[in-house]
Amino acid sequence: MVGHEAFVEHMTRLGLHPRVEAGLVIYDLEPIDGARAGTVVDTAVGVDELGRWPQVPPHWIHLPGDVTLARTNSRPSTRPGWTMHSRQIAGWGVDDPGVAWAGHVRGVLGEARS
């Protein structure tokens, strides 16, 4: 299985409650560091970016607008009130892409200032 269905399966297996809404796969993630540590944050990825999942990770992370990052390239998300943040993953090609992706986004959320 590939694409957004495979991504949803990975996030489901990790207990992150994924759901597809308006072209995004939204899932719950709890960062372990930073201003949001210990709170569940809705995060998302565009379905259009998941065409080659799990071979290729998405580039943009969609976050609620009240999550601010110190260092980011950003633009408005397709979801009203949200922002897309440009992020690269180094060293993709891991055994469990779902775990790698969740860890990557937790790391990004660990940089949140609010």
Query: Taking residues 47-59, what's their average pLDDT?
Result: 95
Distance in angstroms (rounded) separating the CA atoms of residues 10 and 55 = 13
Mean pLDDT taken over the chain: 94
pLDDT band at residue 92 using 50, 70 and 90 as cut-offs: confident
Q: What is the pTM of this model?
A: 0.94
* Helix, coil or strand: residue 63: strand
Order of strands, sheet of 19-21, starting from the edge strand that comes earlier in the sequence: 19-21, 24-29, 41-46, 60-64, 82-86, 74-76
pLDDT confidence of residue 58: 93
Whether the pLDDT of residue 51 is over 80: the answer is: yes
Amino acid, res. 114: S
Mention every residue, 6+ apart, whose C-beta is less than 8 A from residue 44.
24, 25, 26, 27, 61, 62, 63, 77, 79, 82
Q: What is the tens place of the pLDDT at every residue in 3-16?
A: 999 999 999 999 99
